[in-house]
Structure 1
């Protein structure tokens, strides 16, 4: 039976719409920025100079809850130069996204290069209606925070494969997967480690106050999160289907990957091996692929059983000191390891059963090819690590958060407008401090006491923070995973720059922000519970 190929989306440019022209303008402006490496070199120099000037002026900030003021530390001082010279390698190797990306891509790369991902996706979505895919992707992306930062690495490339297999534009899957995972990062139908982390930060701040309000737990925002997850999933699907993909087609954006792999194939590879599954998607599974998937499924079940035994056994090393898992535990710190194993073990079984892996040397060779695609990101991680470490060390982030809070107090915002002002401030600070836990640590220490005095529960302020914490992070160059997305996009358009991906994110930012703010407003207006036992106003 001859191979059947799904219909491919056309890439013929059409007349741009008004939105296309606006986004094209953003893309052109963004692409005038220097290359990411040079951009972050310049930003690091700016942080160094600004911090030095502020340190020389004796600028400091008092974070609520701390006894002593926090001084701005200058990069071009004796202390700063010691930090830069002694921490250069540690800042690079210790850059958290580098650890997450490289580790997970070793497993994902093996799953991709053995053909397991392409075969699994064709099996799962072979009969799926293509019209449903954007909304399914929206739901998976918005709920992806259950995988923590791993969602930014896993969802976009898998979505590209799914879209192409269904005859849709693969870059729409890339863009939509990243946007849904990022703009909806703080919400999910499931309780995640982020819920526990935020609750722990909120509780630690509130407990220092005479009237701490209702205790905040990992489920204090569950009802708000569940409603938000459904609404944002549908919104993400609509934007992918009606805005992003048509815009890519009108612009003639390439829907085929550029072939840059001229290395010799490992011993088990052949034209049907699935070495490049994303560029040779077949409609039907071969006997070898079906056998491989059966082995992969058995391997995954065995792995899952082993992990469950390890987790559930009394005295498990993955439990915390109290014998549980929340708010913190080695299990929640093992997300990267678990995701790696979830890809690596089944992929190894699939590769052996399908005949792609015929000798042990094939395994590191296939994994190495996946890392080759990340070479540019690894180089960028060097300067990204320096920038993030220096920005944190100088205390500029703390100064920005406290100054913003004082500004709200100074202009006299009260009532619900003050809540919206807080959300706007969180959105702006999120452009500079992408880490949600770091930003909430800073903002909670300032705003939880402030809004408690105004009669609002800490759990409600935490919910409001979620709105501002996520939407804008997908459009800032300071988001390290933006560089990972750019790496994926350049597989299709090597000339793509930061402006390209920023412009593709813009259609998600404002609708997500407005939708989520409206949901918060509805909960506030009708005084609905945010979660079990969690209200909005302090009890009289």
Structure 2
């Protein structure tokens, strides 16, 4: 049989996925991508500056001239602000403090123990729904969730007499497809908020400040629905299909591929781990009570001048501190009980390990900071926003259809740019100001981006954690390939995407706040 005959017999989904992989493999890694974009903006700004291009933002009487990087003024700006552009990159201000606290909670073992406790205590019938809960909540572990959760959920399924591959695939699907949402406030919320806030400075009416809880109401609604849907899909679609296909329920005896065996991971907690979780829960509750007491009393310094909290107040400006506190205190208590954080050097080591895991982002943040700073300083961001907004208005695309098209674009780009921070940096610089000029809150556009940034990442071969999952899966199915995984992920992607869009539609139609003090439309 010839290669051409083989190719002709393959269906269009396989050819499409092959095309996605080929195109995606030609994309540079994020640092190179944004370095190239920085150069493009530098050249374009210089040409526009020489041409005398100006922009006037609606609602402002000031006409702004485009400034070019390759001019005397631009070169001085760059040499004077290189360090400030990096250190002043807003996500660093929010992500790093939260990262230190989450690092203590994660590296001490508390978060993994909590996940194991939740999975291990679920009855057999409820196990798929427990996996849905754990998967969607898993983003609190950041990227580690893709490695920690699937083998644990596979083990829990096997112990309950259910198909372990359903736990493995379902755990990964729930983690990946629901990665952009959580009922908890995580470092991802801080990261997205920092990027969003960094591009609102060019707007005459930037709306309410964007902070880590600006999408909290939307996240809670989406997370609860996705948890249930993930459980239903695992229970009613994935597991029955695996049984019909005769997928083995036992792992291969050999370990020549070097894959991590789920047998090495136990869902059962030791006595000291159970005691640590108990005291961590007590510490969390006491800390939360202390915070509520501090802000609830009349005359609290965390209230605004009217005595409330919305639309802005010191309390909302202190979200980073509150998240830091609510992760750090339980993490320290757990670490003390189990012996992983008994001294100050222990704690600093745990924090250092967390920062070490973020080194790729810290390196990427250097070029991201330069790109955003140049985009804003040159005036190109304002020019694109005004031009794009005028184009949308001329085409009549100012309603929800424009939001849906934005979601579709984010979904498509997410197949090629896996880094959520890199993709949002790229899209926020253009679309946050553009949509603000036709009346949308930056926080709402950030929420819409979450819809596009979620489900499709479990389909793309460019997601490195799919390769990790494939290695785990081949312990059960030696001949499994990327097509095997993608075919099993597709129902999750489709259903999750529809659910995400429906939630977004309800918030839009009812004009519901997406977070404390953050709505859909800008106030006139």
TM-score range, shorter chain: 0.5 to 0.7
- Which string of whole-angstrom CA distances, capped at 9 and with x for unpartnered residues, describes residues 152-198 of structure 1? 6646544753443211677875675454353x699x9xxx9999x99
Do 2:110 and 2:331's aligned partners in 1 also have CA atoms closer than 8 Å? yes
Matched, 1:112 2:106: yes
2:285 is aligned to 301
Change (3 A) 1:349 1:467: closer
Do 1:310 and 1:316's aligned partners in 2 also have CA atoms closer than 8 Å? yes
Matched, 1:161 2:145: no
Aligned equivalents of 2:493 and 2:69: distance in 1? 34
1:365 is aligned to 349
Do 1:159 and 1:170's aligned partners in 2 also have CA atoms closer than 8 Å? no
- The Cα of 1:140 is off from its aligned counterpart by 5.0
Do 2:302 and 2:313's aligned partners in 1 also have CA atoms closer than 8 Å? yes
Aligned equivalents of 2:311 and 2:377: distance in 1? 27
1:52 is aligned to 46
- The Cα of 1:38 is off from its aligned counterpart by 1.8
Q: Quick one: which of 291, 295, 299 aligns to 2:275?
A: 291
1:136 is aligned to 133
Aligned equivalents of 2:343 and 2:367: distance in 1? 38
2:405 is aligned to 424
1:325 is aligned to 309
Matched, 1:99 2:90: no
Aligned equivalents of 1:359 and 1:225: distance in 2? 36
Aligned equivalents of 1:462 and 1:372: distance in 2? 30
Aligned equivalents of 1:279 and 1:370: distance in 2? 26
1:61 is aligned to 55
Aligned equivalents of 2:19 and 2:232: distance in 1? 23
Pairwise CA RMSD:
5.2
- The Cα of 1:126 is off from its aligned counterpart by 0.9
Report the secondary structure of 1:361's partner residue.
helix
- Which string of whole-angstrom CA distances, capped at 9 and with x for unpartnered residues, describes residues 6-64 of structure 1? xxxxxxxxx99864653343233223222322222111111111121122222223222
Aligned equivalents of 2:231 and 2:381: distance in 1? 34
Change (3 A) 1:401 1:359: closer
Do 1:60 and 1:70's aligned partners in 2 also have CA atoms closer than 8 Å? yes
Do 1:185 and 1:470's aligned partners in 2 also have CA atoms closer than 8 Å? no
Q: Which moved more, 1:232-241 or 1:129-138?
A: 232-241
Do 1:352 and 1:358's aligned partners in 2 also have CA atoms closer than 8 Å? yes
Change (3 A) 1:67 1:179: farther
Matched, 1:180 2:178: yes
Report the secondary structure of 2:387's partner residue.
helix
- The Cα of 1:510 is off from its aligned counterpart by 7.8
2:387 is aligned to 403
Do 2:129 and 2:228's aligned partners in 1 also have CA atoms closer than 8 Å? no
- The Cα of 1:353 is off from its aligned counterpart by 1.2
- The Cα of 1:326 is off from its aligned counterpart by 0.7
Once the two structures are superposed, the pairs formed by residues 33-52 of structure 1 within 5 Å of their partners are 33-52=27-46
Report the secondary structure of 2:286's partner residue.
helix
- Which string of whole-angstrom CA distances, capped at 9 and with x for unpartnered residues, describes residues 326-376 of structure 1? 111222222222222222111111111112334332111122122222222
Aligned equivalents of 1:22 and 1:310: distance in 2? 56
Aligned equivalents of 1:92 and 1:366: distance in 2? 25
1:126 is aligned to 120
- Which string of whole-angstrom CA distances, capped at 9 and with x for unpartnered residues, describes residues 184-231 of structure 1? 699x9xxx9999x99xx9xx9699xxxxxxxxxxxxx99999987766
2:6 is aligned to none
Aligned equivalents of 1:443 and 1:50: distance in 2? 19
Aligned equivalents of 1:185 and 1:359: distance in 2? 32
Do 2:106 and 2:112's aligned partners in 1 also have CA atoms closer than 8 Å? yes
Change (3 A) 1:172 1:283: closer
Do 1:120 and 1:293's aligned partners in 2 also have CA atoms closer than 8 Å? yes
Unaligned runs of 5+ in 1: 1-14, 142-151, 208-220, 251-255, 260-275, 449-457, 495-499
Aligned equivalents of 2:468 and 2:353: distance in 1? 14
Do 1:103 and 1:340's aligned partners in 2 also have CA atoms closer than 8 Å? yes
Once the two structures are superposed, the pairs formed by residues 471-490 of structure 1 within 5 Å of their partners are 471-473=451-453
- Which string of whole-angstrom CA distances, capped at 9 and with x for unpartnered residues, describes residues 230-289 of structure 1? 66666677789979x99xx99xxxxx9x99xxxxxxxxxxxxxxxx9x995322211111
Change (3 A) 1:531 1:391: closer
Do 2:150 and 2:171's aligned partners in 1 also have CA atoms closer than 8 Å? yes
Once the two structures are superposed, the pairs formed by residues 354-503 of structure 1 within 5 Å of their partners are 354-411=338-395, 419-421=400-402, 423-424=404-405, 434=425, 442-443=433-434, 446-448=437-439, 468-473=448-453
Do 1:160 and 1:173's aligned partners in 2 also have CA atoms closer than 8 Å? no
Aligned equivalents of 1:79 and 1:507: distance in 2? 54
Aligned equivalents of 1:511 and 1:30: distance in 2? 24
- The Cα of 1:440 is off from its aligned counterpart by 7.5
- Which string of whole-angstrom CA distances, capped at 9 and with x for unpartnered residues, describes residues 410-445 of structure 1? 34669xxx6524653686599776599977863455
Aligned equivalents of 1:170 and 1:105: distance in 2? 27
Using structure 1 for the length normalisation, give the TM-score.
0.63
Using structure 2 for the length normalisation, give the TM-score.
0.64
